[in-house]
Amino acid sequence: MTVVDFRTVSTSGLESSPVGPALAGLRANEARYFSTKYGHALTTHPADEVPQLVEYVARVLAERDVVIGSRPLEASSCEVDGIRWTHVFYESGLVVNVLWTLAEGGKRAVGFKLSDGMEVPEELDGKFTFARQRSTLAGTIRGSFFVVKGDHEPPATP
């Protein structure tokens, strides 16, 4: 397990990504968001140590017939303010997060974020529109999302 430091951005765990520094910036940007909004330190695990998180995200994406072709490098899961957040950081530079409000009828969505410098992955191209956002940590982030319709109870936080 690694606590993500958003003050000193590190590519540790993401070295095999062709956009490693940008992906590290995006990971740090996520960590800053959780620290600022929830007072929570984002932690990640090597993806092969938490296959249940990678499988969970894949199961939710299957709702829209999306299969990510890139290798997962890291995954994270946490619960803050009654919301379970699950992230998977992929070698291509893609980050997928599932927001799952634990209360019945709460907000449930999947977010996609593309690291600066990467192309829209083939499996997402034409299916989603990406908005741009500037970040001091991550450069230009392109993001999109969809609302989850099915019941995909998240796994326990590791």
Spatial separation of the C-alpha atoms in residues 15 and 66, rounded to whole Å: 25
Asked if the model's pLDDT at residue 144 lies above 80, the reply is yes
**Residue 120 near residue 135, CB atoms below 8 Å:** no
Residue 155 lies in a domain: no
Domain that holds residue 42: 2-147
CA gap 142, 158 in Å, rounded: 29
In a domain, 80, yes or no: yes
Which single residue is written with the structure tokens 């989850």? 148
Given a cut of 80, whether residue 157 has pLDDT beyond it is no
By residue count, the chain amounts to 158
In a domain, 50, yes or no: yes
156 part of a folded domain: no
Which pTM was predicted?
Answer: 0.94
90 membership: H or E segment, kind and range: strand 83-90
The string over 20-40, giving b where at least 16 C-beta atoms fall within 10 Å of a residue's C-beta and e elsewhere, is bbbbbbbbbbbbbebeeeeeb
Residue 153 in domain: no
**61 phi/psi in degrees, rounded to 5:** -65, -30
Mean pLDDT lowest among 18-32, 72-86, 102-116, 129-143: 129-143
Name which of 93, 77, 85, 67 is nearest 14 in CA terms: 93
Instruction: Examine residue 73 and state whether it is found in any structural domain, yes or no.
Output: yes
Q: Within a domain: residue 152?
A: no
35 within some domain: yes
Q: What is the pLDDT of residues 30-86, one digit of tens each?
A: 999 999 999 999 999 999 999 999 999 999 999 999 999 999 999 999 999 999 999
Domain count, the chain: 1
Q: Which two tokens stand for residue 145?
A: 């999302």
